Amino acid sequence: MIVIKTEEEIEKIRKSGKILRLVLDMVKENIKPGVKTIELDMMAEELINKSGGIPAFKGYRGFPNTLCISINDEVIHGIPSHRVIQDGDIVKIDGGVILDGYYSDAAVTVIAGSPKNKRDVELVDTVEKAFYEGISVIKPGVKIGDIGYRIQTFVESRGFSVLRDYTGHGVGKRLHEDPPIPNFGSANTGFPLKPGMTLAIEPMITAGDYRVYTDKNGWTVKTVDGSNSAHYEHTIAVLDSGVRILTE
């Protein structure tokens, strides 16, 4: 069931998103060669708690940490550990915050230290721009397929692939709500957008094939061909006037 939010509820999500933005900005500044992923996770949890929020991911379906931290061929759901970030690693940080019962969800990809090659830089640049391509079409009446079509067309025009097995989603009163928002598809298909919908739009792309598998830890999603990947996400609201990003 799609949950339509009131203006007051959208504002609550925005306040949650404001905390999440502070957290992701802080973590980005600390992504450097030599840093352990668990250290980034601990920083994030401390700041969320100090800000009056609750880590949305910790304990969700048994996930053990505050952040998902995925590196290189790991696309999403990486578990923080004592793994040390290396120079040139492509690091994906995905987080969520609960504040007053409302959820926000966002992600960013950063290259630690010096990029290994131009292709990695293009990959990270493409995933962020793909998000903005996707939301550029959002307004009441536009169909969900239009978002995925715009993202897929842009990503593939740059020689990259979009995941098929994982999608964006509704978010607000729960971390995952209806409807799913694929990053691929056909224009003018799917459910029409309505004012008051709050969505997590999150392109997930790879430098090679789009096929993925889940690691033996039961969480981390990796590319089958070992190619590098990138992820970018914001929580947005559909308004009468168009779209508003709630996690920036």
> What one-character-per-residue DSSP string does the chain give?
-B-PPPHHHHHHHHHHHHHHHHHHHHHHHT--TT-BHHHHHHHHHHHHHHTT-EESSTTGGG--SSSEEEETTEEE-PPP-SPBPPTT-EEEEEEEEEETTEEEEEEEEEE-SS-S-HHHHHHHHHHHHHHHHHHTT-STT-BHHHHHHHHHHHHHHTT-EE-SS--EEE-SSSSSEEEEE-SS--TT-SPBP-TT-EEEE--EEESS---EEE-TTSS-EEETT---EEE-BEEEEEETTEEEES--
When pLDDT is cut at 50, 70 and 90, the band that residue 149 belongs to is: very high
- Can you give the pLDDT at residue 8? 98
When pLDDT is cut at 50, 70 and 90, the band that residue 36 belongs to is: very high
Query: Strand pairing of 74-76 and 221-223?
Result: antiparallel
Query: 45-68: per-residue pLDDT in tens?
Result: 999 999 999 999 999 999 999 999
- Can you give the pLDDT at residue 76? 98
Extents of the domains making up the chain: 7-245
Q: How far is residue 100 from each of residues 8, 21, 128, 182, measured CA to CA in Å?
A: 12, 17, 29, 29
- Can you give the pLDDT at residue 17? 98
Query: 192-225: per-residue pLDDT in tens?
Result: 999 999 999 999 999 999 999 999 999 999 999 9
For the question of whether the overall pTM of this predicted structure is more than 0.95, the answer is: yes
Query: 85-101: per-residue pLDDT in tens?
Result: 999 999 999 999 999 99
For the chain, what is the mean pLDDT? Answer: 97
- Can you give the pLDDT at residue 83? 97
Query: 172-198: per-residue pLDDT in tens?
Result: 999 999 999 999 999 999 999 999 999
Domain 7-245 top-level CATH class: alpha beta
